Amino acid sequence: MATPTFAPTPIILPTVEVIYETPTPTSAFPGDLDQRLDAITYKTSVVRDLPTTELVPFELIDQEEFRWMFIEDLEEDAKELALDTRLYQRLGILGPNDDLAQLLTDVFSDIVLGFYETDDNKMYIISDKEAFSLNDRLTVAHEATHALQQYEFDIGGLLDELEDYDDRRMALRALIEGDALISELLYMLTYFDEDEQEEAQSNRGDQDLTAFRAAPVFIQNTITFPYTDGYNFAVNLYLKNNNFSNINLAYNALPVSTEQIIHPEKYDAAEEPVEVSIPDPTELLGSGWSVIDRNVMGELFLRSYFEGGLEREVAAAAAAGWGGDEFLLLETHTWDALVIYSVWDTEKDAIEFAETFRAYGQAVSGQEWSEVTYSDTPGHILVSSNSGTTGIWASGDEVRVIVAPALGSMQGLFAALEFQDPLTEAEVRDGN
């Protein structure tokens, strides 16, 4: 597990998590720089108030080396990448011919400044060793924090345990990166004079972020979330006692959803997600069907999805009442389909989500969604769009969504999943 560092804004220096194989060694740092990097690690240990028992090895790499390392990692995770691609295409986040691997390679090659490898306990810095800058020092301080986290809390092991729980894993990453951002900021405030602080801040926007900004909003948001919302979450914990004590405790009482990161008061109240389980419909659908992915989307996923076609405030409001969900990605011989079951804090929240899902679909497809009523499942909201045919059903605090390529497949899925007492669109809007 590695945590590369990048700079998407001129204000902060966040990091992103990627897993890498051991790269090809490059020439060593000059001797004096080795000593300076070791000193940064010790100073980071002081501001983070965690002990360091050994020096963290460093290696200098350039952007091209990083690019090939990233490509090799994506090849190792080809199965997971293929599932993400199919999910994003079914939802319309990606087009049918978009290459997710190429998109991610271009984005991360532009924005990564360094990363820490937990398995090897090694830091990699993307920099010119002859011109090691103030911002490079901050990158080392950030990655040194990850080394301290690994020593004290085994963050690599914690992330591995959540490999199949996407929303919870993202919440843990937000804690890890928010923690490291506070350490990085304290390092700068403690060890940089005023002129150095001003210079470091002014240099934060120097990177070419063309590929990052050209990526779908959903991709941008999931990359930056651990460093924006994660930073706010960590600051909330830090300010309770003006030290890292509550952040340290959080590694033994992990946030269990991105909802808890976005709304720290829900973490404080230990408000956990509702467990949602979708019955496997494949036996009723006939031969050739299989479930290829099952996971939780979570508040971040839904918020980021809606931001791809709606105002940020609208997207945030629609996702804010999230209580729990599960999705199934199914396939047959010729196509795939997506089923989402979700539970909301209140019936009003459920209605808002259903209506926003419809508004998003209309916005990105450029066409009005039409209600279709048929004998088996009257009142479902259905529309043909660029992503296929979408059905939405809401009752009380529950909303169920099916995205399939055609109306016939939609009807078959609705029947197999045994939807009961469907409401009409008007009833959903009125809250009856």
| AA identity, residue 232 | N
User: Is residue 280 scored above 60 in pLDDT?
Assistant: yes
Instruction: Name which of 385, 218, 213, 386 is nearest 303 in CA terms.
Output: 218
Spatial separation of the C-alpha atoms in residues 91 and 387, rounded to whole Å:
6
Task: State the average pLDDT over residues 282-301.
Answer: 91
pLDDT of residue 155: 96
Confidence class for position 365, pLDDT limits 50, 70, 90: confident
Residue carrying the six token digits 């810095």: 125
pLDDT of residue 208: 75
SS3 334: coil
| Position 369, amino acid | W
Structure tokens at 380: 């479902």
Two structure tokens written together for 289: 């069907």
Encode burial over 2-23: b for 16+ CB neighbours within 10 A, e otherwise. Answer: bbbbbbbeeebbbbbbbbbeeb
Structure tokens at 253: 């009482």
Q: Phi first, then psi: what are they for 230, rounded to 5°?
A: -65, -40
Lookup: tokens for 100: 């997710």
Q: What is the pLDDT of residue 335?
A: 84
Total-model pTM: 0.88
Q: Give CA–CA dist 70/355, Å, rounded.
A: 39
Q: Could you tell me the CA-to-CA distances from 193 to 99, 183, 188, 198, 329 in Å, in that order?
A: 45, 17, 8, 9, 53
Distance in angstroms (rounded) separating the CA atoms of residues 140 and 143? 5
340 has pLDDT over 70: yes
Neighbours of 80 (CB within 10 A): 12
How many CB atoms lie under 10 A from the CB of residue 406?
A: 13
pLDDT: which is higher, 121 or 266: 266
Q: What is the mean pLDDT of the chain?
A: 84
Collapsing DSSP to helix, strand or coil, 274 comes out as coil
Over 90: is that where the pLDDT of 221 sits? yes
Is pLDDT at 281 greater than 50 in this prediction? Answer: yes
Q: Mean pLDDT across the stretch 326-336?
A: 91
Q: Is residue 17's pLDDT more than 60?
A: no
Predicted confidence band at 373 (pLDDT cuts at 50, 70, 90)?
low
Highest mean pLDDT among 33-42, 253-262, 394-403: 253-262
Four-residue CA torsion sign, 10, 14, 18, 23:
positive
pLDDT confidence of residue 138? 93
> What is residue 206's predicted lDDT score, i.e. its pLDDT?
65
Distance (Å, rounded) from C-alpha 275 to C-alpha 12? Answer: 35
Strands across the sheet with 381-385, in order? Answer: 290-295, 322-331, 336-344, 398-404, 388-395, 381-385
**Which of 118-127, 160-169, 199-208, 408-417 is the most confident on average?**
160-169
**In the predicted structure, residue 21 carries a pLDDT above the cut 70:** no
